[in-house]
């Protein structure tokens, strides 16, 4: 398929924020599907429905991050929608992982929108690792600034391989979803946490997922760089499995029951806690290198860290990161500014909330301009 700037089809134009009365975010993760439905009611955005459903089989994804089993993903999407009680999803926004996307922030001279479209074609050729014929490309004007006395534009280019996008779109089609918008998980997470982002600081948002840990560095509430560490909750479970010599489900249960990071002197550390700490130390090592690279290359400072994602629930992870990185660490709350429907079970929501951040951000982009 030839390259074209067609934001309404595959990769949506992030600047065109259509406002809808009802929207559903579908986060297609590496371990399962998370769905959230938001609706506008009496001037408020209501968190109305949610569900988290694991995949019924392993090996849903291929070695390049592509969906290898569209039937399994489609059936899980349908099951998640049914579990949440979502019969009319409204506008649907789903995601691809940032590991399968190219996100670049570039500076350009001030120009008209028409000239910018033409310039993006040239700039995309410079930054994309594949030919334009293989990619779907979008862009977003982040803002304006002045350099050497002349006004300039800061523009975000977002691109993904069409063969990767096909698997996501096909899974959604088989699940009965019509005309979905496809976003990128890292962008959705930032959007979900935007209400708690300070206006004039550098913040590293860390999304501790099952298959990876996403790092989005935000300055003045705008994404600067996106990086991924290809380790997450599954890496911890695999390490526990090797140490205990048990099967996957037993190792996962041990992680849930005994997984923690010991940070206080005198506190007992069993073999599961030690294994968790060892894997997290490896993840933090990669995180530290990403933060140091950003601060050195941009001369900007990281003032704080926000953590989210299912694996951010590891006990003492926030304290451990604060000790290791030397900055304040807080647990992200994507419900800030949302009204919770009375029908939502509070205990279940509190337990699943870190896993829902991306799905909330996906739905938010269609109910908030």
User: According to the model, what pLDDT value does residue 12 have?
Assistant: 41
Closest by alpha carbon to 44, among 69, 21, 12, 73?
21
Range of the domain at 282: 22-236+275-367
Predicted confidence at residue 173, as pLDDT, reads 97
8 A C-beta contact, residue 158 and residue 120? no
What is the distance between the alpha carbons of residues 92 and 77, in angstroms, rounded to a whole number?
Answer: 12
Q: How many domains does one find in the chain?
A: 1
The per-residue pLDDT for 18 is: 38
Position 263 in a domain:
no
Give me the pLDDT at residue 19, please: 52
Q: How far apart are CA 89 and CA 180, in angstroms?
A: 10
At 44 the three-state DSSP class reads: strand
Cβ proximity of 354 and 309 under 8 Å: yes
215, 227 contact by CB (below 8 A): yes
At 147 the pLDDT is 85
Residue 14 placed within a domain: no
Say which DSSP state 29 is in. -
Query: What secondary structure does DSSP assign to 198-222, as a single string?
Result: -TTSEEEEEEE-SS-EEEEEEETTE
State in Å, rounded, how far the first CA of the chain is from the last one: 32
Residue 8 belongs to a domain: no
C-alpha–C-alpha distance, residues 353 and 331, integer Å: 11
pLDDT digits (tens), the chain, 369 positions:
333 333 333 344 333 433 568 999 999 999 999 999 999 988 899 999 999 999 999 889 998 889 999 999 999 999 999 999 999 999 999 999 999 999 988 899 999 999 998 898 888 888 888 888 888 998 888 888 888 888 999 899 999 999 999 999 999 999 999 999 999 999 999 999 999 998 889 999 999 999 999 999 999 888 999 999 999 999 999 999 999 999 999 999 999 999 999 998 888 999 999 999 999 999 999 999 999 999 999 999 999 999 999 999 999 999 999 999 999 999 999 999 999 999 999 999 999 999 999 999 999 989 875
**Residue 133 is assigned to a structural domain of this protein:** yes
pTM to 2 decimals?
A: 0.91
Neighbouring-strand partners of residue 217: 204, 225
CATH number at residue 135: 3.30.420.40
CA distance 57 to 234: 15
Q: Which residue do the tokens 């939502």 mark? A: 344
């Amino acid at each position: 398929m030839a390259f074209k700037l067609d934001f309404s089809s595959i990769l949506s134009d992030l600047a065109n924020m259509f406002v809808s009365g009802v929207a559903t975010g579908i986060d297609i993760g590496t371990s399962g599907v998370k769905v959230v439905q938001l609706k506008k009611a009496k001037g408020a955005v209501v968190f109305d429905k949610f569900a988290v459903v694991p995949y019924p089989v392993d090996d849903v994804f291929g070695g390049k991050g592509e969906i290898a089993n569209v039937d399994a993903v489609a059936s899980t999407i349908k099951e998640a929608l049914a579990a949440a009680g979502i019969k009319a999803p409204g506008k649907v926004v789903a995601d691809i992982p940032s590991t399968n996307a190219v996100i670049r922030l570039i500076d350009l001279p001030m120009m008209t929108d028409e000239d910018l479209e033409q310039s993006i074609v040239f700039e995309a050729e410079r930054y994309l690792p594949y030919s334009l014929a293989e990619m779907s490309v979008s862009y977003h004007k982040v803002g304006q600034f002045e350099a050497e006395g002349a006004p300039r534009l800061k523009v975000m280019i977002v691109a993904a391989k069409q063969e990767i996008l096909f698997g996501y779109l096909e899974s959604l089609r088989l699940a009965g979803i019509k005309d979905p918008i496809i976003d990128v998980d890292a962008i959705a997470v930032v959007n979900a946490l935007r209400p708690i982002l300070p206006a004039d600081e550098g913040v590293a948002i860390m999304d501790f997922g099952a298959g990876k840990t996403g790092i989005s560095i935000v300055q003045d509430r705008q994404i600067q760089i996106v990086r991924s560490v290809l380790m997450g909750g599954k890496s911890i479970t695999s390490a526990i499995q090797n140490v205990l010599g048990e099967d996957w489900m037993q190792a996962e249960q041990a992680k849930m029951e005994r997984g923690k990071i010991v940070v206080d002197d005198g506190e007992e550390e069993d073999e599961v806690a030690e294994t968790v700490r060892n894997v997290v130390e490896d993840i933090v090592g990669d995180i530290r290198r990403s933060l140091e690279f950003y601060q050195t290359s941009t001369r900007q400072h990281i003032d704080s860290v926000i953590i989210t994602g299912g694996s951010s629930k590891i006990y003492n992870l926030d304290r451990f990161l604060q000790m290791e990185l030397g900055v304040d660490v807080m647990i992200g709350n994507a419900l800030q500014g949302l009204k919770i429907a009375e029908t939502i079970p509070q205990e279940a929501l509190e337990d699943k909330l870190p896993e829902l951040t991306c799905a909330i951000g996906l739905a938010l982009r269609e109910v908030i301009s």
